[in-house]
């Protein structure tokens, strides 16, 4: 059995390209995105609508459907390319994907991708309080996932479901309820419980708390933080709320128009954001302490992804643009250890200053 | 009603622009045999001055949107008074809302995609209220529309005027909604979560526009939100709602610097605040808002309150003045002698 090395990354995305084919031309949703997620790490992917973050999440889970097309790159999960998993045999899968925790039974079903989903990687979608089946009791929605992947009878599955509800702090008597009988925050926690059901090594959360009130949001994220410490999984945390992300993530990637424009430890992003877009984003959050300062946000609007601006995609909205039209996006450069930025105008000037 | 230390312009004799007194709203649910009611509002009173932004903060179920719908008169209150410039409109125009009221009290909704008609041009949608309310005629209408587009930051106006909503971004559509409300020259605008569906980098632009209108045109705003940070940014006064009651109200900066009500403290502690550092403060939140149907006699926050006392379960606390305009409804503070 292939054992995962302690310093081996759970996820290693290399030069990923994803497009959506439309009658007006291909929408370049993800352009040359690369990043890694270490074991037990929370990696935040921040950006506004249309930046490509949700597309990346769907690509990892292999839930993209036409007109979405993966046009390049690799997604290495525990060293194995997820994009080529269909071609693996079950033996190969069992051999190459080390189970965490050790000794966990890998699913016996013939569908490799299905075994990968839920057991290795699971996802909490946006507004997932609405993704529970309204006509099926909570217990059945949890045991359904359990019994598909593990050899459990109904009673064993129910016991396991009770344990899962306990983990997310819901009274197990609510198991027999229908989704509409629970509050929004509770439904969200049920979805998180389902995502944890098979002890995945990587959990992807796409705006998991946007539809929730701020108090419930804090409560849920604290619980997830604790669960992560106890169970040891990694998290890919996707949101547009940068202030929330800085509190919760270890490292953050800022996305703009399909590209990563800055990548750094969370604290660095907060204290030393280098890309003008990141600076603009941070300046869009009014504070609840200190003096009232006039904030401006970022002028202009996100670009058209069918015909994006030439060169740096942010330049039309950038106050630091030096007026030179370039032919390709600036590459990500490591400005200081662990801190990568894709910017030429501003960074060069800052270095010279 | 005397106004102490108000920096804002009030109408000639100190009467607030908008005053709401003891608004109660019950929504009937259940059946004829066992009638039940959702207690959406349980006696809400507040005022808005000209050129003042009052932020109404609360989570879902607090009743804040019900307040907006009552003030803009989309629904009728179960009891209470709504006074515009001192006149109780529920008495003077009890059955049909006058055009005059609609001109003076305008609303901006949360969903920028839902509040504009998809098959009418921007220009047409801005024209209609102006014509209906007779604010301009003939050629002056188009001129007014162009002016509104410019004020709302939709440039260039002569191109925007012929566009359709689908050609605009969320932020631009919300600016159209503001322009539309402005067209009839309102005195007060109710904005119900106007930026929560917009991209983060666009939000400030819309908030700054509202700020500009308040300062330059002395329009009063009731800004409804669940986001404390934006309430602090734009609100002169902030009111915190819980389960149909206003539980704390005061100057925005003061209230957030020194919150008195345990619920306000809970809200402030829960707001992500990266500037304060990355320490995770543990928020003790036991449970969520209870059903608004079986509210009971005590303070609705009692089940969740870290400082709950016996009296909290049996009676709802009355207003207690902290100082100047800052008051709170909490048994930890002695109620004013002449509470209203």
User: CB B267 to CB A215 under 8 A?
Assistant: yes
Nearest to B231 by CA among A290, A287, A241: A287
Which residues of chain B make contact with A217, given a CB cutoff of 8 A?
270
Q: Does B272 touch chain A (CB under 8 A)?
A: yes
Which residues of chain A make contact with B233, given a CB cutoff of 8 A?
286, 292, 295
Please state the rounded mean pLDDT for residues B115-124: 94
pLDDT at B285 (0 to 100): 52
Cβ–Cβ under 8 Å, residues A41 and A250: yes
Tokens, residue A140: 């059945």
In tens, the pLDDT along B321-335 reads 998 889 999 999 988
Q: Looking at chain A, which residue has its C-alpha nearest residue B258?
A: A289
> Which of the residue ranges A134-148, A295-309, A332-346, B103-117 would you say has the lowest mean pLDDT?
A295-309
Please state the rounded mean pLDDT for residues B39-55: 94
Which residues of chain B make contact with A273, given a CB cutoff of 8 A?
none
State the DSSP code for A130. G
Which residues of chain A make contact with B275, given a CB cutoff of 8 A?
270, 287, 289-290
Please state the rounded mean pLDDT for residues B113-128: 93
Whether the per-residue pLDDT at B58 is higher than 80: the answer is yes
Start-to-end CA distance of chain A, whole Å, equals 54
Q: Provide the Cα torsion A3, A6, A8, A11; round to 10°.
A: 90
Please state the rounded mean pLDDT for residues A290-294: 86
User: What ipTM did this prediction achieve?
Assistant: 0.77
Q: Which residues of B44-81 are buried (b: 16+ CB within 10 A; e: fewer)?
A: bebbbbbbbbbbbbbbbbbbbbbbbbbbbbeeebbebe
Give me the phi and psi of A254, to 5 degrees please: -100, 125
Q: Which of B53, B111, B202, B230 to mutate to test the interface with A (most CBs of A within 10 A)?
A: B202
- B113 or A2: which leads in pLDDT: B113
In tens, the pLDDT along B88-110 reads 999 998 888 999 999 999 999 88
Whether the per-residue pLDDT at B277 is higher than 70: the answer is no
Q: Model confidence at B28, in pLDDT bands (50, 70, 90)?
A: confident
State the Cα–Cα distance between residues A165 and A170, nearest whole angstrom: 5
Q: Which of residues 223-242 of A touch B (CB under 8 A)?
A: 225, 240-242
In terms of CATH, what superfamily is A7-39+47-78+241-353? P-loop containing nucleotide triphosphate hydrolases (3.40.50.300)
Q: Model confidence at A99, in pLDDT bands (50, 70, 90)?
A: low
> How high does pLDDT run on average in chain A?
85
Whether the per-residue pLDDT at B254 is higher than 60: the answer is yes
Q: Model confidence at A343, in pLDDT bands (50, 70, 90)?
A: very high
| Percentage of residues in chain A having pLDDT higher than 70 | 92
State the Cα–Cα distance between residues A272 and A340, nearest whole angstrom: 12
List Cβ neighbours of A31 (8 Å cut-off, separation of 6 or more). A17, A52, A257, A258, A259, A329
pLDDT at A149 (0 to 100): 78
Q: Looking at chain A, which residue has its C-alpha nearest residue B230?
A: A286
Which residue in the set A186, A289, A294 is minimally distant from B276, CB to CB?
A289
State the DSSP code for A106. P
State the DSSP code for B69. H
Which residues of chain A make contact with B163, given a CB cutoff of 8 A?
none
Whether the per-residue pLDDT at B245 is higher than 80: the answer is yes
State the DSSP code for A67. T
Q: Looking at chain A, which residue has its C-alpha nearest residue B276?
A: A289
Q: Model confidence at B265, in pLDDT bands (50, 70, 90)?
A: very high
Please state the rounded mean pLDDT for residues B199-205: 86
Q: Does A293 touch chain B (CB under 8 A)?
A: no
Minimal C-alpha gap between B95 and chain A (Å)? 37
E strand or H helix at B203 = helix B200-217
Q: Does A222 touch chain B (CB under 8 A)?
A: yes
> Which of the residue ranges A15-24, A202-211, B259-268 would you say has the lowest mean pLDDT?
A202-211
State the Cα–Cα distance between residues A147 and A84, nearest whole angstrom: 26
- B233 or A184: which leads in pLDDT: B233
User: CB B268 to CB A288 under 8 A?
Assistant: yes
Please state the rounded mean pLDDT for residues B147-170: 90
Peptide bond into B294 cis (omega under 30): no
List Cβ neighbours of B263 (8 Å cut-off, separation of 6 or more). B240, B242, B247, B248, B301, B304, B305
Cβ–Cβ under 8 Å, residues B16 and B10: yes
User: CB A246 to CB B278 under 8 A?
Assistant: yes
- A275 or A90: which leads in pLDDT: A275
Cβ–Cβ under 8 Å, residues A56 and A237: no
Whether the per-residue pLDDT at B23 is higher than 70: the answer is yes
| Percentage of residues in chain B having pLDDT higher than 70 | 90
Q: Where are the domains of chain A?
A: 7-39+47-78+241-353
State the Cα–Cα distance between residues A240 and B278, nearest whole angstrom: 18
Please state the rounded mean pLDDT for residues A240-260: 91
Please state the rounded mean pLDDT for residues A49-53: 87
Cβ–Cβ under 8 Å, residues B199 and A301: no
pLDDT at B8 (0 to 100): 44
> How high does pLDDT run on average in chain B?
87
Q: Model confidence at A105, in pLDDT bands (50, 70, 90)?
A: low
Please state the rounded mean pLDDT for residues A189-196: 88
Q: Does A185 touch chain B (CB under 8 A)?
A: yes
> Which of the residue ranges A41-45, A50-54, A233-237 would you say has the lowest mean pLDDT?
A50-54
Q: How far is CA B124 from the centre of its chain?
A: 28
Q: Between the ranges A90-94, B29-33, B151-155, where is the mean pLDDT highest? A: B151-155
List Cβ neighbours of A68 (8 Å cut-off, separation of 6 or more). A18, A19, A20, A29, A55, A58
Give how far Cα B39 sits from Cα of A81, B36, B251, B290, B295, Å: 55, 9, 28, 11, 8
């Amino acid at each position: 059995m292939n054992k995962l090395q302690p310093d081996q990354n759970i996820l290693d995305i290399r030069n990923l390209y994803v497009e959506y084919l439309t009658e007006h031309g291909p929408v370049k949703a993800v352009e040359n995105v690369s990043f890694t997620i270490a074991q037990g790490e929370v990696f935040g992917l921040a950006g506004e609508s249309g930046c490509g973050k949700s597309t990346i999440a769907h690509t990892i889970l292999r839930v993209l459907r036409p007109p979405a097309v993966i046009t390049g790159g690799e997604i290495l999960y525990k060293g194995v390319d997820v994009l080529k998993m269909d071609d693996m045999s079950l033996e190969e899968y069992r051999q190459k994907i080390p189970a965490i925790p050790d000794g966990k039974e890998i699913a016996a079903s013939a569908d490799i991708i299905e075994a990968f989903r839920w057991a290795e990687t699971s996802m909490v979608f946006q507004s997932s309080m609405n993704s529970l089946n309204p006509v099926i009791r909570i217990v059945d929605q949890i045991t359904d996932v359990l019994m598909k992947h593990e050899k459990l009878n109904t009673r064993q599955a129910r016991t396991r479901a009770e344990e899962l509800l306990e983990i997310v702090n819901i009274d197990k008597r609510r198991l027999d309820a229908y989704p509409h009988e629970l509050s929004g925050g509770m439904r969200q926690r049920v979805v998180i419980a389902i995502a944890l059901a098979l002890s995945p090594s990587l959990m992807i959360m796409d705006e998991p708390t946007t539809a929730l009130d701020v108090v419930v949001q804090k409560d849920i994220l604290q619980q997830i933080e604790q669960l992560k410490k106890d169970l040891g999984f990694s998290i890919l945390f996707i949101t547009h709320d940068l202030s929330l992300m800085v509190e919760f993530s270890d490292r953050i990637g800022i996305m703009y128009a399909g590209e990563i424009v800055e990548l750094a430890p969370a604290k660095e992003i907060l204290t030393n954001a280098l890309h003008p877009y990141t600076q603009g984003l941070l300046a869009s959050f009014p504070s609840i302490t200190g003096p009232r300062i006039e904030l401006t946000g970022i002028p202009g609007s996100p670009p058209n992804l069918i015909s994006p601006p030439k060169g740096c995609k942010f330049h039309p909205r950038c106050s630091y643009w030096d007026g030179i039209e370039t032919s390709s996006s600036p590459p990500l450069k490591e400005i200081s250890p662990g801190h990568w930025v894709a910017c030429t105008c501003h960074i060069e000037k800052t270095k010279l200053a | 009603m005397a106004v102490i230390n108000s920096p804002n312009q009030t109408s000639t004799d100190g009467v607030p622009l908008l005053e709401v007194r003891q608004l109660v709203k019950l929504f009937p649910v259940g059946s004829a045999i066992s009638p039940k009611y959702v207690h959406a509002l349980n006696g809400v009173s507040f005022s808005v001055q000209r050129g003042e932004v009052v932020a109404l903060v609360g989570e879902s179920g607090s009743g804040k949107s019900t307040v907006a719908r009552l003030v803009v008169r989309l629904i009728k209150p179960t009891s209470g008074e709504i006074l515009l410039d001192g006149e109780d409109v529920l008495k003077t125009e009890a059955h049909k809302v006058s055009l005059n009221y609609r001109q003076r009290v305008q609303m901006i909704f949360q969903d920028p995609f839902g509040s504009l008609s998809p098959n009418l041009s921007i220009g047409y949608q801005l024209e209609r209220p102006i014509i209906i309310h007779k604010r301009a005629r003939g050629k002056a209408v188009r001129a007014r529309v162009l002016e509104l587009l410019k004020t709302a930051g939709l440039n260039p106006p002569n191109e925007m005027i012929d566009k359709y909503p689908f050609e605009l971004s969320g932020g631009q559509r919300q600016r159209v909604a503001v322009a539309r409300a402005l067209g009839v020259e309102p005195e007060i605008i109710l904005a119900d979560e106007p930026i929560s569906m917009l991209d983060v980098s666009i939000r400030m632009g819309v908030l700054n526009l509202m700020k500009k209108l308040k300062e330059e045109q002395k329009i009063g705003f009731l800004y409804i939100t669940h986001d404390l940070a934006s309430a602090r940014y734009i609100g002169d006064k902030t009111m915190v709602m819980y389960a149909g009651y206003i539980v704390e109200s005061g100057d925005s900066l003061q209230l957030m610097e020194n919150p008195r009500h345990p619920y306000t403290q809970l809200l402030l502690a829960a707001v992500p605040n990266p500037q304060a550092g990355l320490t995770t403060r543990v928020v003790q939140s036991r449970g969520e808002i209870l059903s608004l149907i079986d509210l009971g006699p005590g303070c609705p926050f009692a089940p969740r309150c870290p400082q709950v006392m016996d009296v909290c379960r049996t009676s709802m606390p009355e207003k207690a003045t902290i100082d100047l305009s800052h008051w709170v409804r909490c048994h930890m503070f002695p109620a004013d002698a002449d509470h209203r």
